[in-house]
Amino acid sequence: MSMFAAAIIGVVVTMAMALLRALMGPTIYDRILAVNTFGTVTVLAISIFGFLMGRPEFLDIALIYALINFAGTIAVLKFLRYGDLGRASAEPDEDI
């Protein structure tokens, strides 16, 4: 039990640091990375909290969180790269 408590303290500290980076973060990529990290850490926090409360079925919820987090980040990066979300496969760029 104390192991889970220590783990959740570490996760909360990581959350705070990711939040700070999202608030300060000089470039946009710092903030994107911070949000993505925050999502991952939320997944960890939910699963650890499930074990801490003796209800490991929270793990399923955490798994679905991980999938959603991925989709959001993809949308953000696509917006930055192409300035548009609608195109399924944009025309190939010259520099790739």
Partner 1 sequence: MEGILNIILLGGMAVTAIAIAKMRNLFVVTMLSGIYSLLSAGIFVLLDAVDVAFTEAAVGAGITTVLFLSTLILVGREAKPRQFRMQAILPFLLVLAVGAGLIFASLDPNMPRFGDPNSPANQRLAPEFLADSVPQVGNEAPTRVGIPNIVTTTLASYRGYDTLGEVVVIFTAGIAVLILLGAARRRREDEELEGPETGAKPEPPKEDSRMADASKEAPGS
Which residues of this chain interact with partner 1, rule CB under 8 A?
Answer: 5, 8, 12, 15-16, 19, 22-23, 28, 31-32, 34-35, 38-39, 42, 45-46, 49, 52, 58, 61, 64-65, 68-69, 71-72, 75-76, 79, 83-86
Of the pair 2, 95, the CB lying nearest partner 1 is at 2
First to last CA, the chain: 50
Q: How many C-beta atoms lie closer than 10 Å to residue 78's C-beta? A: 15
Q: List the structure tokens of 8.
A: 């959740």
Amino acid at 14: T
| Least distance CB 89 / partner 1 (angstroms) | 14
Question: Which DSSP symbol is given to 37?
Answer: H
Q: How far is the CB of 2 from partner 1 (least distance, A)?
A: 11
